[in-house]
Amino acid sequence: MLFEKKTLVTLSIVSILSWVVIQNFSGSPSEVKHSTTTNLHTSNNHETSNSGSDDPVDTDTPDSILELSMFKLASVDGALRADDNGELIVDRKLRQWIDFHLSAMGELSLDNIKILMNQKIDLLPMPARQQAQELLASYLSYKEALASYDNEFQQIGPTNHLDNLQQRHSWQKRLRREALSPEAVEAFWQLDELVDDYALEELVITNSDISDEEKAYQLEKMEEALPEELKSFRRDLYIASNLEEQVVKSREDGESDESIRQLRIEQVGIEATERLEALEVKQNEWQKRLLAYDREVKTVNSIEGLTEQDKQARIKTYQESNFNEKEQLRLETAMSLLQE
């Protein structure tokens, strides 16, 4: 159990930093140059969709994703673009654009998020418009299948955590290739899969029964065999990791938010800084919700005269009122980590 918690924490930190570094990574192999870009920052926020989508227009749907409180002072991440021939540009920035919108789950329903995305897709020329609609449907199908796998895993309960990670990674790669074209998979996840493959192999070696000397030797051989692209990524990740250690120390020393912002900008640039800040806001909001839930659980459990069944019913009602289904699945693990 201790291994599971430490591994979860480690992978959470690494995945956050990896995400930030990967989003800042240039040179995606499938990026089409000299494109005609649909400017997501300045396009008319009041244009309506004419896509013929089956999703009913909800009066709670904002005119722009940036109107949500979670994206205050942020700009849309990624890009939705067509090239000079009207073909959809399928690259990492397109995946960033989709994921940016999907990160609003919890504040908006999936139907409302799809409405906002389709409003922007409708501004593309043909055939890019149709290509984007089809790719979005495939991407959402992949996400749904992956969520279904995670839900089934939650029902099974704790088993060997390293085996679970390997099985999920293999299943994730398979789902990607079933849902999307080889070109889209490469453009969206090539570097991510290299990173995940390396991280899992590193965990296998680190947690094996071989001697420390043999572990060090195998890890060194792995490092030497890495493609230059991944070596560069690991260097950037090391810089990002050290930066966050400096940020923690700066906060402890009472440095202002502006000073910390400048520190990040100097080391990783403005775009990566904005992503780190957006992630930090989301993490802080999640932490506050967990603490409120913890207080509620303690309050309910302290009420005299309530049966255990009544207490659990009240706690369940609070969960359903304050957390969506996916968040409820994360609660047990999140609360365990919170108590440490």
Helix (H, G, I), strand (E, B) or coil at 318: helix
Least confident of 13-17, 200-204, 209-213: 13-17
**pLDDT tier at 65 (50, 70, 90 boundaries)?**
low
Is the separation of the CB atoms in 70 and 282 below 8 Å?
yes
The predicted-structure confidence for 90-104, as pLDDT tens digits, reads as follows 999 999 999 988 888
Question: What is the model's pTM?
Answer: 0.55
3-state secondary structure of 4: helix
Asked which of 64-68, 114-118, 201-205, 250-254 is least confident by mean pLDDT, the reply is 64-68
Are 25 and 91 in contact, with CB atoms under 8 Å apart? no
Mean pLDDT, the chain, whole residue set? 75
pLDDT value at residue 266: 83
Query: What is the pLDDT, as a whole number, of residue 71?
Result: 60
CA distance 77 to 95: 10
pLDDT digits (tens, 9 = 90+) for 294-324: 999 999 999 988 899 999 999 999 988 888 8
pLDDT the model gives residue 51: 34
Interacting residues of 126 by C-beta distance below 8 A, sequence separation 6+: 86
pLDDT at residue 212 tops 50: yes
Could you report the per-residue pLDDT of 129-151, keeping only the tens digit for each?
999 999 999 999 999 888 887 77
DSSP 283-317: HHHHHHHHHHHHHHHHHHHT-TT--HHHHHHHHHH
Residue 87: other Cβ atoms inside 10 A: 17
Burial pattern 5-42, b for ≥16 Cβ within 10 A else e, equals: eebbeebeeeebbbbbbbbbeeebeebbeebeebebee
Instruction: Categorize the per-residue pLDDT at 156 as very low, low, confident or very high, splitting at 50, 70 and 90.
Output: low
User: Which tokens sit at 81?
Assistant: 């673009």
Q: Where are the domains of the chain?
A: 275-340
The beta-strand segments (E) located in the chain are 36-37, 81-82
Contact 203, 216 (CB under 8 A): no
Lowest model confidence (mean pLDDT) among 63-72, 193-202, 265-274 = 63-72
